[in-house]
Structure formats: C-alpha cells, structure tokens
Amino acid sequence: MRILLVSDWMTFAGGSEAYIVDLKQWLQDAGDEVHLLTCGTDGPAKADARAFGTDNTIAQAALQLFNPFAVARLRSVVREFRPDAALVSHFAFHLSPAILPALQRVPTIISVMDYKYVCPLGSKLLPDGTICRVPAGAVCRQGGCVRGLHWLRDQPRYALLRMALGRASRIVCPSRWMQGELSRNGVESDCIPLPVSGPTTGFARTPARHPTFVFVGRLSREKGVDLLLRAFGAVVRNHAGARLRVVGDGPLEAETHALAATLGLSSSVDFTGRLPRSGVEAMLADAWALVAPSTWAEPYGMVVAEAILCGVPVVATSTGGFAETVDPGVSGLLVPNGDRAGLERALDDVASGRAFPQHSIAGDATARLAERLRPDRHVQRLHSLITP
C-alpha cells in the first residue's frame, strides 16, 4: 500500500514530530511504500517533500487560513506518488485547512495530537495557568485568552478547521483524555495510543549515588519547568548532592536559565539543550526518576512511556494523558497539575527512598506497557481503519 504522511513541522519539534518519523519507518517495515510531506521552517532529513511555512506572525495570520504553497506542493505529491491512503498529522499551524480538498480522492485519516483544533492557544490553559474546561467560543475573548482581532480572525479559521475535520475518513487521537476533549467540542474520534519502541540495544540502568532527576521536553509555559525548578529547590535543601537535568529547548529557554540562577540552583541543574534519542537515553541511564510536571493536560506524553520502558520511575501530573500510562506506585507517582507542594512531596519521596527505593521499575510493569505499545500493533490498527 502507498501511504502519504503529511504534517506541520514545528520549530521546536517534540514527540508528535518524532512519532511521524518513526511511523514512516514502522509502515515501511510492514511493507508499505511511504512518502512524507512536511511544512514549516524546518523539517526532518527523512522528509521526501517540504512545503513553505513560516513563524512570522503576520504571514502566519494569512497562511493559517490558506497556504497556497502547501496546497500546490501537496497536489504535486498526490499526482506523482498516487497514494492509496493518507495520514495527516498537524495542519493547523502551517499547512492550513486548504490542503484537505487536495486529498478528496484519497482515504484520509487525521491524527489529532494537540488542542489547536479546539483551542486558539493550543494549550487549553487559562491566563491564570489553570486548565480550561469549556469549549472554545466567545469565552476565549471574554476570558482574556485572545484579543479582539485574534478572536475575529479565528472565527473563519475555526470554521475552516471544522470543515477540514469533516472531510476526513476517520479521526484518531492518542488518549482517552484527548478523545473526551474532542468529543466535548463536537469532534468524534478513535483512540489509538502512540507506540514506543523502547530503549536501544545495549541500554543499561546504573542509578546514580545521589538523587538525580531528569526533565525532557519543550521549554514552554505548559510544560511546567518553572514549577519544577521551584520544587527542586526544596529537594536540594533536604538532600545534598541532588541533581536535575533539563533536556530540551524552547521559547522560554533564556527565562528558565535565569530562574535557575535566581533560585541559587546553577550548581545543581544541568541544561543540556535538545538531545537526540541516544543522548536522552544516556541522561536516563542513572536517573532516579523522570519528571513531567506539565501544567496543561498532556494530550499523551510520549516521554513518560519512553522513560518507563527504560525502567525509570516517573513523576507526572494526573490530569491528561499521563494518567493512562503511569500506574501509580508501580511505574511512577501522579500529582495534581500545577500543585507545587504536591510535586515537592513526590520528588522528596523519590529522593528519600520512600518511593522506588531501588530507583527502578519492576520488569513486569515495563513488559506490560511494552506489549500494549508495540509499534506493529499500532500499524495494524491504522491499516484496519484505512481498509475496514
């Protein structure tokens, strides 16, 4: 089968982009012929075609309604590749809803892995940092999430996004949480958890002598890195030698470095920047826990599944997709989103040995998750949706 993968490509790429690259390989391993088209300011080396996208705010305001460059590139790819089916990942940031008519003769699955289709901010976070519980609409302007001109521009844009979703043969999402959020906004979907391959051959765990925590992700508001730094300050006061590694980059990188210095944590926190998968595994090899302190409700959170499959306990937030991966007390600890005191207690439980005294997860728990998230099972499910 010839399958076309289509996706926005964000400047600070994350788990969703990593999934698309992996999916191309998994589909090829299953015998499919796969072509990958990306759109953005950058793209992966494995992309077969790219369309123009920009982070310029003024240009984006127009291109998010209609990106003629993406439409022309996609039509060309469809003519040349002649796909039997297409899977479209992100298209709200760069590609625009205008690409869907170019796929009208191709059975198309839309994979929704973030909130941009149901939230103008893409995070479902209110200005005070709490999680928004209501569908998008006039409340977005009344609550101060978006200003008047932004809100007015979004009215035709979201009408186009809803029409685009309506053109799909099927819509899929990675968690039951996300499925519920979409349903509350009038979008019905199938839940298919994202697969994880597990650690590379040769990976071995050797926990460090002192409490060692790792954060992996984008340095942005919704990921809660500022909350983590403040909570980690309490850990350092109680556990000499405790360390935190912050792996990733993002729009708040400078602010995050400055906050660590202000809190007197410069000697206890290592900022590694963005690392390849092998580098992330190296950071996890001696970690006592991976910490995922997201303040938003994570749509899925691949980094948590990846850590568990490496045998690393997880401290994560309880509202969102993390809770569908973490088995409390078995593979990790869950704390309320945005709860600094709760995060401090969880980190101290790990650092003191009250939780996960061996600094590892039992092998059977890791094996159960690995079986549930096998890539070949994911591919089989996608094939069943393409050819029911």
Domain membership flag for residue 66: yes
Domain membership flag for residue 205: no
Structure tokens at 142: 């009344």
To which residue do tokens 């039997």 refer? Answer: 84
- Which residues sit opposite 4 in a β-bridge? 35, 86
Burial of 45 (C-beta count, 10 Å sphere; 0-12/13-18/19+) = exposed
| Full residue range of the structural domain in which residue 45 is found | 2-195+374-386
- C-alpha span between 327 and 331 (Å, rounded): 5
Instruction: Judge contact between 29 and 314, C-beta under 8 A.
Output: no
CATH number of 272's domain:
3.40.50.2000
Average the pLDDT over 157-183 and give the result.
89
Do both 187 and 238 map to the same domain? no
pLDDT of residue 171: 94
Do both 65 and 186 map to the same domain? yes
Do both 94 and 144 map to the same domain? yes
- C-alpha span between 258 and 271 (Å, rounded): 12
- C-alpha span between 113 and 345 (Å, rounded): 31
Domain membership flag for residue 204: no
Residue pLDDT, tens place only, 86-121: 999 988 889 999 999 999 899 999 999 888 888 888
pLDDT of residue 388: 58
Number of structural domains found in the chain = 2
To which residue do tokens 């209609």 refer? Answer: 66
Domain membership flag for residue 325: yes
Alpha helices by DSSP H, the chain:
15-29, 57-63, 68-81, 138-142, 148-167, 176-184, 225-238, 253-262, 277-284, 302-309, 340-352, 363-372, 375-386
Residue 11 has pLDDT above 80, yes or no: no
Structure tokens at 134: 């209501």
Domain membership flag for residue 57: yes
Do both 116 and 256 map to the same domain? no
- C-alpha span between 228 and 64 (Å, rounded): 34
**Which residues, including other chains, have CB under 8 Å from residue 142's CB and lie 6 or more apart?**
none
Do both 87 and 186 map to the same domain? yes
Do both 138 and 172 map to the same domain? yes
Do both 356 and 277 map to the same domain? yes
Instruction: Judge contact between 4 and 77, C-beta under 8 A.
Output: yes
pLDDT of residue 190: 94
pLDDT of residue 141: 87
- C-alpha span between 244 and 152 (Å, rounded): 43
- C-alpha span between 270 and 337 (Å, rounded): 24
Do both 154 and 221 map to the same domain? no
Do both 142 and 62 map to the same domain? yes
Domain membership flag for residue 206: no
Domain membership flag for residue 10: yes
pLDDT of residue 381: 93
Of all residues in the chain, the percent with pLDDT exceeding 90 is 71
Q: Residue 208: phi, psi to the nearest 5?
A: -70, 165
Residue pLDDT, tens place only, 291-311: 999 999 999 989 999 999 999
C-alpha 32 chain-centroid distance = 25
Do both 179 and 221 map to the same domain? no
Amino acid at 92: A
Residue pLDDT, tens place only, 237-283: 999 899 999 999 999 999 999 999 999 999 999 999 999 889 999 99
Instruction: Judge contact between 204 and 285, C-beta under 8 A.
Output: yes
CA angle 23, 85, 369 (to 5 degrees): 30
Do both 23 and 43 map to the same domain? yes
351 to each of 216, 336, 346, 347, 354, how far by Cα in Å?
19, 19, 9, 6, 8
Give the strand pairing for 33-40 and 49-52.
parallel
Domain membership flag for residue 14: yes
Residue 338 has pLDDT above 90, yes or no: yes
Residue by residue, DSSP assigns 116-129 as: TTT-TTSS-B-TTS
Residue pLDDT, tens place only, 136-150: 888 888 888 988 777
- C-alpha span between 322 and 232 (Å, rounded): 21
Q: List the beta strands (DSSP E) in 65-200.
A: 85-88, 108-111, 170-173, 190-191
pLDDT of residue 12: 67
Residue 91: helix, strand or coil by DSSP? Answer: coil
Do both 162 and 306 map to the same domain? no
- C-alpha span between 10 and 63 (Å, rounded): 15
**Which residues, including other chains, have CB under 8 Å from residue 111's CB and lie 6 or more apart?**
87, 88, 89, 171, 172, 173, 174
